[in-house]
Amino acid sequence: MAEKIISTKSNLQVLHEDNHIIVINKRVGDIVQGDKTGDKPLSEVVKEYLKEKYNKPGEVFLGVVHRLDRPTTGIVVFAKTSKALTRLNELFSNRETQKTYWAVVKNKPPKNEDNLVHFIKRNEKNNTSKAHLKEVPDSKRASLDYKIIKELNNYFALEINLHTGRHHQIRAQLSIIGCPIKGDLKYGFDRSNPDGGIHLHARKLVFIHPVSKEELTILAPTPEDVIWNAV
């Protein structure tokens, strides 16, 4: 099994930084916020990085705005000021952001491009979500658009635009149309990736800067591996 690469303050992939926000390209092994594993979260690594970079005494303020699943890679935004945190929280909860993901799947989707609408029901016990075609009790509507952007030897690369932000939404919705993401054992792929990750990458994020009010477009390079390099 390949070693999971984890971000440290010295290898952190900073995509954008200004006085109010810092945007990181998350690696496969990173957890965004602390969980029951007790592993050091990315938020703590970023704090260490900022403390060292600016030689800050005392505690560094850093607000977690949104999360990515642990096996997923790509864009994560953190707030460096409380003012930015409040405004970013509003932006994300009001869906005033454009999120684009890339995914690699084994089976060709039914259509080259499509809008998928399902009702997602979360199972807290085993931390999964199931996509249903019709509304079921405690389910939430989930919508995304996908299109095939590249045909590889054994795989298909999809670009996904997310309209809602449900738990494991992309993973569950692609799984139910017969296209589980490469490496995603939880959602029906037949074997894991060597690094324990899945081929789902938060590729692009467009949003209005919480303080300057300028539109920001952030792009995250894909991880170094044979398949992503082919995409």
Note the pLDDT of residue 194.
92
Note the pLDDT of residue 164.
92
Determine the Cα–Cα distance for residues 98 and 18; give it in Å rounded to an integer.
20
Which residue(s) pair with 77 in the sheet? 23
Query: Identity (one letter) of the amino acid at 179?
Result: C
Whether the CB-CB separation of 169 and 99 falls below 8 Å is answered with no
3-class DSSP state of 1: coil
The dihedral over CA atoms of 136, 147, 28, 163, expressed in degrees to the nearest 10, equals: -50
Which residue numbers in the chain have pLDDT < 70?
Answer: 1-3
Which helix (H) or strand (E) segment holds residue 201: the answer is strand 200-208
Residues 6 or more apart whose Cβ sits within 8 Å of residue 3? 195
Note the pLDDT of residue 38.
83
CA distances from 15 to 76, 170, 217 (A): 9, 23, 10
Which helix (H) or strand (E) segment holds residue 160: the answer is strand 156-162
Other CB atoms within a 10 A radius of the CB of residue 125 amount to 6
Note the pTM of the prediction, 2 decimals: 0.95
Q: What is the chain's Cα-based Rg?
A: 18
Determine the Cα–Cα distance for residues 70 and 56; give it in Å rounded to an integer.
29
> CA angle, 143 as apex, 140 and 144 as ends, to 5°?
150
Whether the CB-CB separation of 193 and 166 falls below 8 Å is answered with no
Instruction: Supply the residues annotated as catalytic.
Output: 69
Note the pLDDT of residue 1.
44
